[in-house]
Amino acid sequence: MRIVHFLHGRANPNGTNGGDRVIYNLAKHTVELGPQVYVLGLSEKPPFPIGRSVVRNFLPPVDPFSLPPVLINVLSEIEPDIVHFHGVYTPRNAFLARWLRRRRIPYVISPHGGLMENVRSRKRAAKSAYFALLGRGYCGGASLTHCISEAEAEAVRSFSGDVPTIVAAHGIEGTDLDSLDGGVLRRRYPNLAGKRIFGFLGRLDPVNKGLDLVVEACAQIRSRLGNAVVVLAGPDWRIRSGSLRQRVHELGLEEIVLFHGAIATGPAATQEKLNFLASCDVFLHPSRWEAGVPFSVLDALELAKPCLVSNGNFFGQFFRQHAAGRQVALTAEGVGEGLQYLAEASSADLRAMGANARRGVLSDFSWERTARKLVRAYDQVIAEQLSLGRAPRVREPVHTV
């Protein structure tokens, strides 16, 4: 079986883009199961090696509606049995999908949360226009849609018609807990000694990530927080963290809410991120919406950290099954209730929640299991395509789409 993953970018496993991490791990674990895996990206930068997969990047044309001719030539040479697209709102995906349909080569789409209502509601007019012109044909022409949850599967059905869906959650890479340094924050900030650290790691987007609610909640219950302190780590997002810093100052919360700053990308940064999480007693992620799986939560759970997450978060069912922290309503009062509960919990209770978190995530999230599930689904799609009398593969170079 020859599988092609097509993406815009280069599947950087150490970057901040969760989609890159997904593609990297799907390719890495799928190729170990026997299929030939190719990862073809559109990027000016060199590709990252991915196990035994063949990885190539192509310079994207200036025109967003065109594809590099060399990419089409390479696809013709590979003769893929199936192509796996990542993302929804990209004209090049739609044009390449049309090229595949003409050759009766089946393809799979991973929307990465792009069809969830809270994502579609942003720039709704532009996205509606895209679907009217290209998106419905792209989604409806797929042989399979890969979703990360039942909620996402339900959301995509109105766009993909009778295209079957497969639910296969993302996984974790596996972290050696003994390799982590859980004292980095307290060494950097000596005043944190003896305090319970609530940490956040991600883009400092106050509205998307619910950080505005964290600040307001801290102001409302500051007398009940005891020795708790909130540490926010991550890059500024479209200059939006300035308003958050200003609000912290207005409320006099400088001793309770600390801005740690961004953590750089790259292999060394992966260790830095994990050390940050290891230094926290509780992980915060009260986001209002997520396009996909928040990997920072997965990482925190794997490191046995109790988490405070919002209701409706991707991890809702997980937290209902495993006592791994606290789910809260998306209000300052709801976040405040969760903060107070975790601030007043005993150390033994936090350890028990952390143990539940690690045990649950190791049980429920596995890249190998997801890869096996997808390979079985690929096999079925390919068999069905052949039963319909799929035409011989086209080998000659094709220069236009």
| CATH label of the domain that carries residue 277 | 3.40.50.2000
pLDDT for residue 360 is more than 80: yes
pLDDT for residue 279 is more than 50: yes
> Can you give the pLDDT at residue 219?
95
pLDDT for residue 396 is more than 80: no
Distance CA 254, CA 219 (A): 11
Q: What percentage of the chain has pLDDT greater than the value 90?
A: 58
Is the domain of 277 the same as that of 246? yes
Is the domain of 249 the same as that of 348? yes
Please tell me whether residue 139 adopts helix, strand or coil conformation.
helix
Is the domain of 196 the same as that of 321? yes
> Can you give the pLDDT at residue 391?
47
> Can you give the pLDDT at residue 231?
95
Asked whether the beta carbons of 172 and 135 are under 8 A apart, the reply is no
3-state helix, strand, coil in the chain (%, to 5): 45, 15, 40
What pLDDT digit, counting tens, does each position of 286-306 carry?
998 876 678 889 899 999 999
Instruction: List, in order, residues 6 or more apart from 129 with CB less than 8 Å away.
Output: none
Is the domain of 191 the same as that of 64? no
Is the domain of 123 the same as that of 158? yes
Residue 129 is encoded by which pair of tokens?
């226009």
What pLDDT digit, counting tens, does each position of 19-74 carry?
888 999 999 999 999 999 999 999 999 999 999 999 999 999 999 889 999 999 99
Domain membership of residue 398 (yes or no) is: no
Distance CA 326, CA 306 (A): 8
Domain membership of residue 195 (yes or no) is: yes
CA 267 vs CA 45, 77, 264: distances in Å = 16, 33, 9
Query: Could you tell me the pLDDT band of residue 399, with boundaries at 50, 70 and 90?
Result: very low
Distance CA 371, CA 300 (A): 23
> Can you give the pLDDT at residue 122?
79
Is the domain of 257 the same as that of 153? no
pLDDT for residue 394 is more than 60: no
> Can you give the pLDDT at residue 213?
95
Report the candidate in 224, 192, 181, 185 with the shortest Cα–Cα distance to residue 339. Answer: 224
Domain count, the chain: 2
Instruction: List, in order, residues 6 or more apart from 115 with CB less than 8 Å away.
Output: 88, 139, 152, 155, 156, 159
Query: What angle separates helix 241-250 from helix 211-220, to the nearest 10 degrees?
Result: 0
**Number of helices followed by number of strands (H, E) in the chain:** 16, 13
Is the domain of 305 the same as that of 192? yes
Is the domain of 27 the same as that of 98? yes
> Can you give the pLDDT at residue 395?
36
* H-state helical runs in 166-282: 184-188, 211-220, 241-250, 267-279
**Placement of tokens 């997801």 in the chain:** 370
Distance CA 199, CA 318 (A): 20
Domain membership of residue 395 (yes or no) is: no
Domain membership of residue 111 (yes or no) is: yes
Report the candidate in 103, 109, 34 with the shortest Cα–Cα distance to residue 75. Answer: 103
What pLDDT digit, counting tens, does each position of 212-249 carry?
999 999 999 998 998 899 999 988 877 778 889 999 99
Residue spans of beta strands (DSSP E) within 204-332:
228-233, 257-261, 282-285, 307-310, 325-328
Domain membership of residue 394 (yes or no) is: no
Domain membership of residue 192 (yes or no) is: yes
Is the domain of 250 the same as that of 343? yes
Is the domain of 80 the same as that of 150? yes
Mean pLDDT over 331-340 rounds to 95
Mean pLDDT of the chain, nearest integer:
88
pLDDT for residue 397 is more than 70: no
What pLDDT digit, counting tens, does each position of 114-170 carry?
887 777 777 888 888 888 888 889 999 999 999 988 878 888 887 777 899 999 988
Domain membership of residue 155 (yes or no) is: yes
Domain membership of residue 138 (yes or no) is: yes
> Can you give the pLDDT at residue 234?
87
Is the domain of 199 the same as that of 318? yes
Dihedral angle, C-alpha 356, 361, 363, 366, nearest 10 °: -170
Query: Could you tell me the pLDDT band of residue 388, with boundaries at 50, 70 and 90?
Result: confident
Instruction: List, in order, residues 6 or more apart from 215 with CB less than 8 Å away.
Output: 206, 244, 247, 248, 251, 253, 257
Q: What percentage of the chain has pLDDT greater than the value 70?
A: 94
Q: Which structural domain range is residue 375 located in? A: 2-171+366-387
pLDDT for residue 5 is more than 90: yes
Is the domain of 72 the same as that of 24? yes
pLDDT for residue 310 is more than 90: no
